[in-house]
C-alpha cells in the first residue's frame, strides 16, 4: 500500500513523528487523497499524484502549481493551508491541513462569493493560459472531438454554438475545476480545494464549470435547479462589478459544448460514469438551442 511507504517518508522528513490513521477520501478522479490523523491531534490531508499521469485535454494535473496556489491563497481564507510538498518514491505528494466542513449543499451564495473573491486577486506567475473567447473555446472542443470516433461526435458537432464572443479584456486567476467535491463549506465560508489545474483565464470558465449539469451530476448525482443557477449568477454579479451577464450567457453555451465533447472523450476511454453526464449536458445544449431558435 502507498500509505505504508508514505508513512516512512513523512516520518523521515519530520512531517510525522509516528504512524498515523489513514482514511482514503472519495471524490477525486485524478489523484488519491487521504485524511490523516494522529493521537497528538495532527489533522492533515495527503494527496498523492500519479508518477506518470495520463494526458487530459481539459483538466491538467500539476502538483507543483497546486502547492504554489495553496501558499498564495490560504492567507485569503479560500484554500487549505499547505504543510509540505515532497517528491515521494511513489509519486509527487502534497500535504495540507484538513478543512472540517461539508461538501456543497446548495449554498450557492457562499460559492459565488468565494469565486468572486478569487477572481479579484492578482494571478500567480507561471500559470497556464486558459482558452478565452468563442474561437479558442471552440478550437478546444473541436480538438477533443477530433480524438473521438463514435456517432455521438456528429451530434455534438451539430450542436456547436454559432454566437461569436470576443476574448475577455482582462484575464484573471481561475480555479478551472470548481466542481461540488472541490468546494468545502466551513465556518460559514466556501473554500476551494484541488488546485491541480489553475489558470490565467476568463472568470466565466469557473462559473460555467460549476453550473455544468455534467459536472454537477458526476460529483453529487444531482444537478442544480434553475432557481439555484439563477441565484448563483445573481450572487456572483453582486460581488463582481465587472460581471457582464449578457456576455456570460453567450459564453455559457460554448463552455457547455466543450464539456459535452470532454464527456464523450472520457466515455470513449472507458469511463462509463460520464454516460449520464453527457446526456444531461446534451439536454441542456438542446434546450438552449431551442430557446435561441
pLDDT at 105 over 60: no
Confidence of residue 106 (pLDDT cuts 50, 70, 90): low
Distance of CA 19 to the CA centre of its chain: 32
Helices and strands counted in the chain (H then E) = 10, 11
How confident is the model at residue 53, as a pLDDT?
78
Percentage of the chain with pLDDT > 90?
A: 84
**Which of 97, 119, 147 delimits the end of a domain?**
97
Q: Give, as one character, the DSSP assignment of residue 272.
A: T
Q: Are residues 90 and 115 in the same domain?
A: no
CATH number at residue 39: 3.30.200.20
Q: Are residues 89 and 106 in the same domain?
A: no
Separation between Cα atoms, residue 117 and residue 197, nearest integer Å: 18
CATH number at residue 126: 3.90.1200.10
Separation between Cα atoms, residue 236 and residue 231, nearest integer Å: 8
Q: Are residues 152 and 225 in the same domain?
A: yes
Q: Are residues 181 and 86 in the same domain?
A: no
Separation between Cα atoms, residue 49 and residue 62, nearest integer Å: 9
pLDDT at 84 over 90: yes
How confident is the model at residue 104, as a pLDDT?
60
Domain that holds residue 247: 102-292
Q: How many independent structural domains does the chain possess?
A: 2
**Which of 30, 62, 97 delimits the end of a domain?**
97
Q: Are residues 127 and 91 in the same domain?
A: no
- Mean per-residue pLDDT over the chain, rounded: 93
Among left, alpha and beta (phi > 0; psi -120 to 50; other), residue 41 is left
The pLDDT of 84-98, averaged and rounded, is: 96
Q: Choose between 53 and 98: higher pLDDT.
A: 98
Percentage of the chain with pLDDT > 70?
A: 98
Confidence of residue 291 (pLDDT cuts 50, 70, 90): confident
Q: Are residues 121 and 60 in the same domain?
A: no
| pLDDT tens-digit map of 42-60 | 899 999 999 987 899 999 9
Q: Are residues 23 and 151 in the same domain?
A: no
Q: Choose between 104 and 91: higher pLDDT.
A: 91
| pLDDT tens-digit map of 175-194 | 999 999 999 999 889 999 99
Q: Are residues 243 and 112 in the same domain?
A: yes
Q: Are residues 185 and 260 in the same domain?
A: yes
pTM of the entire structure?
0.95
Separation between Cα atoms, residue 57 and residue 140, nearest integer Å: 8
C-alpha cell of residue 142: 473541436
Q: Are residues 256 and 203 in the same domain?
A: yes
Q: Is the dihedral of CA 201, 203, 204, 210 positive or negative?
A: positive
- For residue 46, give Cα distances in angstroms to 21, 78, 143, 252, 259: 12, 19, 34, 34, 29
Separation between Cα atoms, residue 97 and residue 45, nearest integer Å: 6
**Which of 70, 97, 124 delimits the end of a domain?**
97
Q: Are residues 135 and 269 in the same domain?
A: yes
Q: Are residues 131 and 93 in the same domain?
A: no
| pLDDT tens-digit map of 254-288 | 999 999 999 999 999 999 999 999 999 999 999 98
For 40, phi and psi rounded to 5 degrees? -95, 25
Cell 479579484 belongs to which residue? 120
Amino acid at each position: 500500500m502507498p500509505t505504508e511507504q508514505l508513512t516512512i517518508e513523512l516520518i523521515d522528513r519530520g512531517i510525522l513523528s509516528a504512524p498515523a490513521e489513514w482514511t482514503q477520501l472519495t471524490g477525486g478522479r485524478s489523484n488519491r487523497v487521504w485524511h490523516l490523523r494522529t493521537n497528538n491531534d495532527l489533522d492533515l490531508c495527503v494527496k498523492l499524484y500519479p508518477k506518470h499521469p495520463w494526458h487530459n485535454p481539459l483538466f491538467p494535473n500539476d502538483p507543483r502549481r497546486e502547492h504554489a496556489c495553496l501558499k498564495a491563497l490560504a492567507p485569503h481564507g479560500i484554500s487549505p493551508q499547505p504543510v509540505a510538498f515532497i517528491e515521494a518514491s511513489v509519486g509527487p505528494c502534497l500535504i495540507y491541513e484538513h478543512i472540517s466542513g461539508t461538501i456543497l449543499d446548495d449554498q450557492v451564495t457562499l460559492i459565488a462569493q468565494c469565486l468572486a473573491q478569487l477572481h479579484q486577486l492578482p494571478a500567480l506567475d507561471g500559470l497556464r493560459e486558459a482558452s478565452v473567447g468563442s474561437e479558442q473555446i471552440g478550437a478546444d472542443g473541436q480538438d477533443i472531438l477530433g480524438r473521438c470516433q463514435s456517432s455521438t461526435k456528429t451530434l455534438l458537432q451539430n450542436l456547436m454554438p454559432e454566437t461569436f464572443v470576443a476574448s475577455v479584456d482582462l484575464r484573471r486567476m481561475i480555479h478551472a475545476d470548481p466542481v461540488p467535491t472541490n468546494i468545502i463549506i466551513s465556518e460559514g465560508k466556501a473554500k476551494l480545494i484541488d488546485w491541480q489545474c489553475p489558470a490565467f483565464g476568463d472568470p466565466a470558465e469557473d462559473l460555467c464549470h460549476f453550473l455544468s449539469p455534467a459536472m454537477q451530476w458526476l460529483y453529487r448525482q444531482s444537478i442544480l435547479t434553475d432557481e439555484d443557477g439563477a441565484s448563483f449568477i445573481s450572487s456572483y454579479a453582486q460581488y463582481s462589478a465587472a460581471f457582464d451577464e449578457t456576455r456570460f450567457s453567450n459564453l455559457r453555451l460554448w463552455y457547455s459544448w466543450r464539456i459535452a465533447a470532454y464527456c464523450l472523450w472520457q466515455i470513449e476511454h472507458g469511463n462509463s460514469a460520464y454516460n449520464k453526464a453527457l446526456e444531461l449536458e446534451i439536454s441542456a445544449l438542446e434546450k438552449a438551442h431551442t430557446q435561441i431558435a
